[in-house]
Amino acid sequence: MMDKLKRDKRTGRVIFTKKMKKEYTILFPMMAEIHFTILQKVFNHYGYKAELLTDTSPEIAQTGLKYIQNDMCYPAILSCGQLIHAVLSGKYDLNKIALMITQTGGGCRASNYIMLLRKGLKKAGLDYIPVISLNISGLEKNPGMKITIPLIRRALAGVIYGDMLMCLKNQVEPYEKEKGTTDKLTQQWIDNLSNQLLYKNGYKLEIIKTNLESIVKDFAKIEKTDTKKVKVGIVGEIYVKYAALGNNNLEKFLKEQDCEVNLPGILNFLLFKIDNRIDDCNLYGGHKIKKFVCQKLFNYCDKIQSIFLEAIKNNSNFALPSSYKHIKELVNGVNGYGNKMGEGWLLTGEMLELAETGYENIVCTQPFGCLPNHISGKGMIRKITSIHPQANIVAVDYDAGAPKVNQENRIKLMLSIAKERLETDSSNISSK
C-alpha cells in the first residue's frame, strides 16, 4: 500500500488523491462543539467521509507531548495529539484514513501545526497517512480535496448557525425554569440544520434568514426565571477559547459557579482574517484578483452577520452581540490594526465589546508562551480598565504543565469580586 502512495516531489508529503476521497475516512479535531458538529455535514455533503473526533481523555495531552515537540504551544499539542491518539486507538484501518487540520498561512505557529503532525506521524511509523491542509490561501493542494465556492457558502452557513445557537443557548440555559429544555432545543436545531446542509439548501441567504429567525423565536419561548447572575465573557486564543479540551472545560466550570457565559462568535474571527488580507493588499500591494476575491468574501460574511443581528434584534429581547465593524471601531486608538498575528487586535476588541455590553467580567484564555495573546490580551488589561473601570479581567495560562486547580482558583478570585458587585447592585436597587 505504502509503495503506491503519491508523494509531493518537493516536500515528500503524501498527496490526498481523488481515489482516496471515495475510500478514506477523514478525521479532524474538535474545537467548537456546536459549530464543528454542523460543519461535519458540510463535508459529508460533498462526498467526504469526514469524522469529528470527540474524545477528550487525559491521554490526548500525553500523546501530544510524546509525538509533538513539548515546548510547542498547547493548542498544537492537543489538536495534533487528538489526531495521533485516534490513529493509535485501533478503531480505524490505517490504510484507509486521512487527517485534516486547518492552516491559516499567517505568522502564528498554527500554520506549522501540519508540519508537526507529519513529524509526529513519522515518529510513530505512520508517515504514510495523508495529512490534508484545510486552507483558502493555496498553501498546499490535494486533488482529492477541493475548496469550492459552494463548499465555502455551506461552511459559512454552518458557522453562523453555530454562532446563533451558541449565543442563545448561553443566554437562556442559566435561567431556564425546566432544566434540560435549552439543551434539548439546541440538539433539535443542530440535527435540523445538519440535515439541511447535508441534503437541502440550508446555505442560501433566504433560507439562512428564515432559519435564524425561527431559532430566535424558539429560544425566546423557553420559560426563564428573573434571577440575576454574574455575567462572564470568554476571550483568548481561538482554540483554548472554544475547546473544552484546551481550557479544562472552562464553560462548564463557569456554569457550575452559577454564571451566564458569553463566547463571541467565530464569524468575527473569519472576518478578521479576511480583512487582514485586504489590508495587506492596500498597504503592500498584491494581486488585484486576490483583493477582489477577499473583498467579495468579506462582503458576503458581513451580509450573513447582518442577517444574524437582525434576527435577534427583530424577534427577541436577547442581548445583541456587536458587529465586526463596531468591534473594529472600538479598537481604534487602543490597539493598532497592524497587530494581526494570531487573534491580534480582535482579542482586545472583544474585551472592549464585552465590557461595553454588560459582560465586564472576563476570562482571557492564553496558551502559555503565546506572544500575540500576551500582548493583545494580558498586555491590554490596564488600558481596557482605564476605558471601562468596571472591567474585571483575569488572564489564565493553559499548558500541559499548568494545574487545573490553580487556573480555577484564579478564576474564582475574579468571580468573588464579580459576586460582591452583583450583591451591591442588587442591594442598591432594593433600597430604591
DSSP secondary structure letters along 342-408 = TTHHHHHHHHHHHHHTT--EEEEEEETT-HHHHHHTGGGHHHHHHH-TT-EEEEEEE-TTS-HHHHH
Residues 51, 26: contact at Cβ < 8 Å?
yes
Query: If you search the block for the grid coordinates 487545573, which residue do you land on?
Result: 404
10-144 belongs to which CATH class? alpha beta
The Cα 299–Cα 288 span in angstroms is: 16
Helix (H, G, I), strand (E, B) or coil at 38: helix
At 169, list the grid cell.
443557548
Provide mean pLDDT across the span 393-421. 94
**pLDDT band for position 432 (50/70/90)?**
low
**Partners of 364 in the beta sheet?**
235, 395
- The yes-or-no answer to whether 10-144 and 229-264+322-432 have a common fold is yes
Parallel/antiparallel/unpaired status of strands 230-236 and 361-367: parallel
Helix (H, G, I), strand (E, B) or coil at 30: coil
Residues 50, 26: contact at Cβ < 8 Å?
yes
3-state helix, strand, coil in the chain (%, to 5): 55, 10, 30
The Cα 325–Cα 318 span in angstroms is: 20
Nearest to 29 by CA among 186, 191, 190, 242: 242
Instruction: Give per-residue pLDDT as tens, 131-173.
Output: 999 887 778 889 999 999 999 999 999 999 999 999 999 999 9
In angstroms, what CA-CA distances link 201 with 142, 186, 301? 27, 20, 18
The Cα 377–Cα 74 span in angstroms is: 17
The predicted structure's pLDDT at residue 250: 97
Q: How far is CA 213 from the centre of its chain?
A: 23
Average pLDDT of the residues of the chain = 92
- What is the torsional sign of CA 269, 271, 277, 280? negative
105 or 401, higher pLDDT: 401
CATH assignment of 229-264+322-432, among 3.30.457, 3.30.360, 3.40.50, 1.10.10: 3.40.50
Q: Find all residues with CB under 8 Å of 85, minimum gap 6, and list them.
A: 55, 57, 59, 60, 63, 64
Helix (H, G, I), strand (E, B) or coil at 46: coil
The residue extents of the domains of the chain are 10-144, 148-225+266-320, 229-264+322-432
**Partners of 209 in the beta sheet?**
none
Is the per-residue pLDDT at 429 higher than 50? yes
Minimum mean pLDDT range among 6-20, 41-55, 301-315: 6-20
**Partners of 49 in the beta sheet?**
25
Q: What is the largest CA-CA distance in the chain?
A: 80
Nearest to 108 by CA among 358, 420, 375, 372: 372
Is the per-residue pLDDT at 430 higher than 60? no
The Cα 223–Cα 334 span in angstroms is: 40
Query: If you search the block for the grid coordinates 460574511, which residue do you land on?
Result: 301
Query: How are strands ordered across the β-sheet holding 97-102?
Result: 49-52, 25-28, 97-102, 131-134
Task: Give, to the nearest 10 degrees, the angle between helix 205-220 and helix 288-315.
Answer: 30
Instruction: Give per-residue pLDDT as tens, 65-106.
Output: 999 877 788 999 999 999 999 999 999 999 999 999 988 766
User: Taking phi first (over 0 means left), then psi (-120 to 50 degrees means alpha), and beta for anything else, what does residue 98 get?
Assistant: beta
The Cα 238–Cα 232 span in angstroms is: 17
pTM above 0.85, yes or no: yes
Q: How big is the chain by its Cα radius of gyration, in Å?
A: 22
Helix (H, G, I), strand (E, B) or coil at 131: strand
Minimum mean pLDDT range among 28-32, 196-200, 322-326, 336-340: 336-340
Q: Percent of the chain beyond pLDDT 70?
A: 96
Instruction: Give per-residue pLDDT as tens, 354-367.
Output: 999 999 999 999 99
Backbone angles phi, psi at 376, to 5 degrees: -85, -15
The Cα 263–Cα 354 span in angstroms is: 9
Length of the chain: 432
Is the per-residue pLDDT at 3 higher than 50? no
The Cα 172–Cα 274 span in angstroms is: 32
